[in-house]
Amino acid sequence: MTLTSSSDSVATGEKLLDDPRLNKGTAFTSEERERYGLQGLLPHAVESLNRQAERVMGHLEQKPSDLERYIYLIGLLDRNETLFYRVVMSDPARFLPIVYDPTVGEACLKFGHIYRRTRGMYVSHDMKGRVAEVLSNWPGRDVRFICVSTGGRILGLGDLGTNGMGIPIGKLQLYTACAAVPPDCCLPILLDIGTSNSALRADPMYLGLRRAPPPTEELDSFVDEFVQAVQEVFPGCCIHFEDWKGTDAIRLLAKYADKVLCYNDDIQGTASITLAGLTTALQIKGDRLVDQRILFFGAGSAGIGIGNLISVAMQSKGLSKDDADGRISLFDVDGLIEPSRKDLSASQEVYAHKAEPATDLVKAIEALKPTILIGVSTVGGTFTKRVVEAMCKLNERPVIFALSNPTEKAECTAEQAYIWSKGRTLFAAGVQFPDVMVDGKTYHPGQANNFYIFPAIGLATYAAKPTRITDECFIVAAEACADQVSSDLRDKGMLFPSQKNILETEVATATRVAEYMFDHGLATAERPREIRTWIEGMLYKPQY
């Protein structure tokens, strides 16, 4: 590590200890202490990174809750980035629920109250007209990823405005923690457009604009200025949209997907991990994707996004668009989506196929005979015993995904799905349910967690420098993810790779995605002889 600060001067003394990217704390050697004016500013002992990590683990054990662990770890990141990533990357499966979902949800709810120090940028609607100038204030120039949210729909918690900043910060940490993307090329941004959450606006600790979000046209014009400013200030940077209000998310992705380097994880990442789970399930059943009939329970941004990607995947396997769309049906709060409905959005109309109106899910299942049922409704307990049994009556091995989260919003639990189907269901959820025992056999329910996908997309993008990230990149990522589920795991009902070797999984997936980017003229980097070795050479290593 060169001890040069972002302003390119050699940092010394307290300034060096205050720079989280350069600080090594007690690991500064005697020679470095002498050279950089650190003598007397640190205790005598010179420690290894491992010894420092051991101390951090001890501190974490003393903390009474995951929220306290989160606050401690973010504090550590503010002091010593290398040590933070050494700890988090030592056991991602253990730390992801702390630095990200579900703890980050709680952290967002209390963001103004637990706020310590800024990380990333806050670009508010007030700055309209000078967004490029504001972005230029960021000290780093080689920004390759911006994760940007308005806070408009944070996890299942609604509009949290500026409190949503915990999400871009956490998402970008996962690029590094899961896929070893170098952290200094990542910039979290909260686009502060105000919040519709009046309780937040009344909270004296709230840190954002205290006003309602602007009308759509005004919002879009502000977002347009932001997107153009990113092209100007950080050319080649990928914009990752995250946790925007559903309608804004769909509209803006459609507007920018083929114009700039960007993607939306809520839409495309979710769709990709769901497709990965379906691919594994179909490999277990020995069935083809193009022969499935899929019913979505919930027709919001997640349902539409997954449906669209499945349709593209079916088309890539030979179906026409009409045939592929015809295999996908939606059911929402008002019942089955069919042509007599007058309340449909353009993206829902694509899946409004001729059928008898139905407001009872079981009736819809009996009429449509789906092989796959996917819950993205935000309403817990809606996949009742009747629903699971109706799927079992039609299918020897029904595929049932209950993706709504948090836990209490899951359409059914893993235990219910396995018990009601007598172990026949191929099941996945949005949350991690504990193992279930049915008739002496243990089932390990899979978690359709986007973290198998977006860090790998990030790593492939970091390496291959594509001009666009297309839907096909997400299909390739899904297939690569499914191909890494060992037969051992499949036997136990797992539809996703183990979380233990997450870096290995992400590198393998990123390699396939980068290969696709090279093969299809998306990449601008020079094609290496061996893509995997080339990518491995770029991985961030948390060491001094």
Residue 370, interface with ligand NAI (CB under 6 A)?
no
How many residues in the shown chain lie near ligand NAI by CB under 6 A? Answer: 27
Q: What single-letter DSSP state applies at residue 234?
A: S
Among 20, 92, 300, 446, interactor with ligand NAI by CB under 6 A: 300
Residue 303, interface with ligand NAI (CB under 6 A)?
yes
477 vs 471: CA distance, rounded Å = 10
Task: State the burial class of residue 267 (Cβ atoms within 10 Å of its Cβ: 0-12, 13-18, 19+).
Answer: buried
The sign of the dihedral angle between the CA atoms of 435, 438, 440, 444 is: negative
Q: Whole-number minimum distance, CB 370 to ligand NAI, in Å? A: 15
Strand locations in 73-173 (E): 121-124, 145-149
Among 127, 261, 302, 477, interactor with ligand NAI by CB under 6 A: 302
Residue 273, interface with ligand NAI (CB under 6 A)?
yes
Give the x-and-dash track for 323-342 against ligand NAI (CB under 6 A).
--------xxx---------
Nearest residue to 427 (alpha-carbon basis) of 438, 439, 417: 417
In the complex with ligand NAI, the residue whose CB is nearer, 403 or 523, is: 403
In the complex with ligand NAI, the residue whose CB is nearer, 11 or 477, is: 477
CB 240 within 8 A of CB 147: yes
- Which residue stretch of 116-124, 300-308, 434-442, 520-528 sits at the interface with ligand NAI (rule: CB under 6 A)? 300-308
Among 156, 214, 236, 357, interactor with ligand NAI by CB under 6 A: 156
Rounded to 5°, angle at Cα 60 from 59 and 61: 90
Among 24, 327, 409, 465, interactor with ligand NAI by CB under 6 A: 409
Give the x-and-dash track for 227-246 against ligand NAI (CB under 6 A).
-------------------x
Residue 379, interface with ligand NAI (CB under 6 A)?
yes
- Which residue stretch of 40-48, 182-190, 296-304, 311-319 sits at the interface with ligand NAI (rule: CB under 6 A)? 296-304
Residue 104, interface with ligand NAI (CB under 6 A)?
no
Say which residue the tokens 């977006």 belong to: 454
179 vs 89: CA distance, rounded Å = 9
Residue 149, interface with ligand NAI (CB under 6 A)?
no
A 10 A CB-CB count for 491 gives 12
CB 507 within 8 A of CB 515: no
CA distances from 422 to 85, 315, 410 (A): 43, 34, 20
In the complex with ligand NAI, the residue whose CB is nearer, 123 or 179, is: 179
Residue 81, interface with ligand NAI (CB under 6 A)?
no
- Which residue stretch of 104-112, 142-150, 294-302, 498-506 sits at the interface with ligand NAI (rule: CB under 6 A)? 294-302
Nearest residue to 208 (alpha-carbon basis) of 128, 168, 150, 148: 150
Q: Whole-number minimum distance, CB 412 to ligand NAI, in Å? A: 13
Q: Whole-number minimum distance, CB 18 to ligand NAI, in Å? A: 38
| Helices and strands (H and E) in the chain: how many | 25, 14
107 vs 164: CA distance, rounded Å = 9
96 vs 111: CA distance, rounded Å = 19
Residue 448, interface with ligand NAI (CB under 6 A)?
yes
- The length of the chain in residues reads 544
CA distances from 400 to 136, 153, 281, 348, 424 (A): 48, 26, 10, 21, 10
Residue 299, interface with ligand NAI (CB under 6 A)?
yes
Among 163, 347, 377, 499, interactor with ligand NAI by CB under 6 A: 377
Residue 182, interface with ligand NAI (CB under 6 A)?
no
Residues near 167 by beta carbon (within 8 Å), at least 6 away in sequence: 104, 108, 147, 149, 151, 154, 155, 242, 243
Residue 297, interface with ligand NAI (CB under 6 A)?
yes
Say which residue the tokens 């507007």 belong to: 255
- Which residue stretch of 55-63, 190-198, 398-406, 458-466 sits at the interface with ligand NAI (rule: CB under 6 A)? 398-406
Q: Whole-number minimum distance, CB 44 to ligand NAI, in Å? A: 49
Residue 450, interface with ligand NAI (CB under 6 A)?
yes
Active site residues: 100, 171
| Interface ranges with ligand NAI (CB under 6 A) | 156, 246, 266, 270, 273, 297-303, 331-333, 376-379, 382, 403-405, 409, 430, 448, 450
